[in-house]
Structure 1
Amino acid sequence: MVVIWLIIIGAAAGFIATRLMDLQTDIVTTIAIGVLGAIVGGFVLRMALAIAGFASGFVGAVLGAMALIWLWNTYGPGRR
């Protein structure tokens, strides 16, 4: 079932991509372009999201550490 879904999505994506790029191809080439484009695009998107997830986690860690430093300086031992 996944293969059929991939072919349907690939055909639609390939059709749109070939029309946007003004490329005249037959149906098999159009489907192949769409399926391979879906694989490449999915991989690139997953990598971008993984990097963004790592970056957001790092930013969150820095902000959390800054909040703890502020709390320590404001309310820690020896403070009023």
Structure 2
Amino acid sequence: MGIIGLLIVGIAAGFLATRLMRVEMGVVPTILIGIAGALIGAVVIRMVLMITGLLGGLIGAVLGTMLLVYLWKLVGERR
């Protein structure tokens, strides 16, 4: 998401969050908090996706290796 998209999402998130949490704030603080929240959220989501991507890659690698070891043992027993 580009900077402009992040700003728009941040502004919308600020207004939604203040309404959902029933907090009365001015327009400028609402926008600034929303933008900061969007930036923090984007960083956190990217970190979570990176970690789960690495974890998924590790699980896939272990499963693939287990399959190869099983096939290796199967071929070795036939000899």
Q: Structure 2 length normalisation: TM-score?
A: 0.87
Identity within the alignment, %: 51
Q: Tell me which amino acid in the other structure corresponds to 2:38.
A: A
Aligned-pair CA distance for 1:9: 2.2
Structure 2's unaligned 5+ residue stretches are none
Structure 1's unaligned 5+ residue stretches are none
Aligned-pair CA distance for 1:72: 0.6
Q: Tell me which amino acid in the other structure corresponds to 2:19.
A: R
Number of residue pairs matched by the alignment? 78
Work out the CA distance in 2 between the residues paired with 1:60 and 1:5.
34
Q: CA deviation digits over 1:23-70, x for unaligned, max 9?
A: 111110110011000000000000000000000000011001100011
Work out the CA distance in 2 between the residues paired with 1:69 and 1:7.
51
> What is the alpha-carbon root mean square deviation over aligned residues?
1.6
Q: Structure 1 length normalisation: TM-score?
A: 0.86
